[in-house]
Chain A
Amino acid sequence: MRIHFKTSYEHDIRLFPDWWSFFVYATLIVIAVALPWLMDDFFLGEVTNVLIWAIAGLGLMLLTGQTGQASLGHAAFLALGCYSCIIFMEQGWPFLIAFPAAGILTGVVGTIIAIPAIRLHGIYLAIATIALSILADDIIVLMEPITDGVSGKFAPMITIFGIEIERWTTPDRFYWLVLAVTILCTLAYRNLLRSPLGRAMAAVRDSEVSATAMGVHIARTKAAAFGISCAITGLAGALMGFYAGAFNNETFSIVISITLLMMIVIGGLGSIHGAFFGAVVVAFLPQFLSMTKDLIGGGSVAIPGLETGVFGMILILFILFEPMGIYGRWMKIRIWFELFPFARKDMFKRQKSYLKTERLR
């Protein structure tokens, strides 16, 4: 059992609480970097997919897990990031400029959209973002001269300092690119949580009234959360475009928005680990299902809606029995072992709360 004696405020906000956790994460990064030599190209592609979903999950986690604003429209921002990055590159911009520019553009648009959205609460925000996601699909079709509408676009070759990167011909280089973006985004997220802005976001999530009392500017915090969240999501969207190779208005449908939200709930709301755990579930579920179908002997008969149906089932079980997600379960198991034999069952009991409406009638 490790005990952290915090002797200064600096100790409390350190990136890694102790050398052990630093060592664990360093090992993880070394394994991740060496992965192309350990795996064949198919599984490397799958891991790349997991990482891209994890970046998108980090983006939504910042908004939903950290600031408490549920968004069902993040596929719109994935689409915006994807289209803007590839359109910039078609204009002749190099990848290293077009990629961050796509992120910044998505972030700015996200902030502008947030200005009316921050007046909305709970379900009203959810429905407004659903409308956004549906509108995005139609707007892509309407802006056909720029976006090529229904026929879609193809991702060009990425060139960084003369090194050519492409998903199919050089999967290892593409993997390293995605890994680098993942690490940068995770570090940015982790650092944001230690900053005053990150603390303000958590305060807004827990109680807007008490956050106001503490001097947090709610509207500004929510707008910042929207902006940063959309920027990260936009980066993930651009990578998704390169991963898919070809995309059109239906690639980023409302189902993607919903899947993204469900993913971070399964992973565990409000934690970085949760985004990664959720991404693993989302990316490997189709493979897992087809493997089980082969084992049972179902053959190649396609059952439409099976994936989403099973996914929905998993999610219902999680919300009922483990609302904290995979990460929450992992924490409970870890704390049980750390405190052994002093862990008690009631330690994680939820407090009962009663509903009181804000409606007049």
Chain B
Amino acid sequence: MEVVQLLVSGLANGCVYGLIALGFVLIYKATEQVNFAQGDFMMLGAFVCLGLTNAHYVGLPFWVAAPLSIAIMAVLGYLLDFFVLRHLFGQSQTAVVILTIALGFVIRFVAGVIWSHEPQTLESPLAIGDFNIGGVVLGMADIAVIVVTVLLTYFLYQFFQRTKLGLAMQAASQNQMAAYFMGIPVKRVQGMIWGLSGAVAAVAGILFASKGAIDPNAGLLGIKAFAAAVIGGFGSLPGALMGGLIVGVIEPFASRYFPAGYSQIAPYTLLLFVLVFRPHGLFSQVRIKKV
């Protein structure tokens, strides 16, 4: 029973990591840029929803506030690409990495100024308590997280495989010049993908905030999600989710069965092992460069 209990709470945590990792992978798949601020996007999405929902801020009903905050984050993602990242066109990957890390610092600072550094809880209808199935206690929020994540991943996968826009995004990432010649508005497509990833980050944030308190430093979770994305292999949506689940499940088991102090290094040790033996992740998509 204890194992099942750990597994479920691990899966729920893993889904949040997986959702943040999904945001990384979306942007990477379409633009080959890596958004290190994705964790802070998640935090910002959670705080926007919290600010709209909680009684002593705006006080909207949750089911109005949640879609609204997802929309706000999508617009924010698009504007970010429009005003900042589009000007980096043609610069190296490292420049984007450093820029987004700096962006994370700025977002954390701004969120701290607006909503203060105290941990706060979202007044969410998802957090209505636990129920008991054959000795296993499941939180409603945990189940909601798992269901939403699976649905979202499925829809995004279908979106990339089947819709015109999804294919355009893939084409733009594989060869920008050729995509231009095929009539794809590469810049606008990239803006849309940043908007989409902002929306995914908001979903992750709302789910994360339903599970417990958040503060502006919650964005540092992004590093763990990044590890998840790398373990799964950048550029693969199911891979990102798998990576997130692996990291999420390892954590509670490590803290249960390993001595104290060794448990929090488990995900990073796994990450280093994956990088040493499969440098492009478990679901690799890269050929070896030949001269």
Contact = CB atoms under 8 A, between A and B. Distances in A.
A14 interface: no
B261 A119 contact: no
A119 B102 contact: no
Contacts of B93: 122-123
A346 interface: no
A355 B32 contact: yes
A146 interface: no
A310 B88 CA distance: 21
A353 interface: yes
B109 to A, nearest CB: 3
A361 B285 contact: yes
Contacts, number: 158
Contacts of A126: 34, 94, 97
Interface string B231-256: 00011000000000000000000000
A138 B276 contact: no
Given A70-B94, A355-B176, A127 B230 contact: yes
Interface size, A (range): 35 or more
B108 A305 contact: yes
A116 B276 contact: yes
A353 B276 CA distance: 31
B234 A135 contact: no
Interface string B63-103: 00000000000000000000010011111011101110111
Contact of B269 (A120, A135, A142, A254): A135
B174 A319 contact: no
B182 interface: no
Given A124-B275, A128-B275, A135-B265, A309 B97 contact: no
Residue picked from B88, B95, B98, most chain A C-beta under 10 Å: B98
Contacts of B223: 130, 134, 254
B56 interface: no
24 contacts: A70-B98, A119-B279, A123-B34, A123-B234, A124-B279, A126-B97, A127-B227, A208-B289, A209-B289, A262-B101, A265-B98, A304-B117, A305-B109, A309-B110, A316-B102, A316-B106, A323-B95, A352-B90, A354-B175, A354-B177, A355-B175, A355-B176, A359-B174, A359-B285
Q: Which 7 A-B pairs have the closest CB atoms?
A: A309-B109, A312-B105, A312-B102, A315-B102, A131-B268, A305-B109, A116-B276
Interface of B: 31-32, 34, 84, 87-91, 93-95, 97-99, 101-106, 108-110, 112-113, 117, 170, 173-177, 216, 223, 226-227, 230, 234-235, 261-262, 264-265, 268-269, 271-272, 275-276, 279-280, 285-287, 289, 291
